[in-house]
Amino acid sequence: MGLVERSAAFAMAPSRAVDGYWFADLHFACTVAADPAAPGAPCQARRLDPEREWALAAQPAVYPDSGRLTLLAGSSGHIWARDTGAALLDVLPLDPAADGWTEVRRPEELDAIPGEQPD
């Protein structure tokens, strides 16, 4: 079909990264936000309906050497970016903006996204 470059189509693990990034097909979405009083607490999640919804995360293969931003795209039509450190994204956030993600409309906006803050 030629929809995407073959190497990108198979970049589904850090060992198969393309240009420093690999792609994770997300199967779950948050339905109830995590407790704000408990940072890092997991949200309640549901399985995405594959006939209506999809989500994909592009994650650095070796943080921060191959990249520092995780990119998120989905059936909403929006693209989001955030420095998640070495943490892997496995659940679509309920509200990416409220969860610290920045909506990206043009590639040059990526340079303005702040990095992870040390504790």
Domain boundaries, the chain: 6-112
Q: Which residues are paired to 103 by β-bridges?
A: 80
The per-residue pLDDT for 3 is 66
Q: Which residues are paired to 58 by β-bridges?
A: 23, 71
The per-residue pLDDT for 25 is 94
* Residue 57 near residue 48, CB atoms below 8 Å: no
Task: Kindly tell me the sign of the dihedral angle through the C-alpha atoms of 107, 51, 28, 24.
Answer: negative
pLDDT tens-digit profile, the chain (119 residues): 566 788 888 889 999 999 999 999 999 999 886 666 655 567 889 999 999 999 999 999 999 999 999 999 999 999 999 999 999 999 999 899 988 999 999 999 999 998 875 44
Task: Kindly tell me the sign of the dihedral angle through the C-alpha atoms of 116, 119, 97, 31.
Answer: positive
The per-residue pLDDT for 66 is 95
The per-residue pLDDT for 2 is 65
Distance CA 67, CA 1 (A): 29
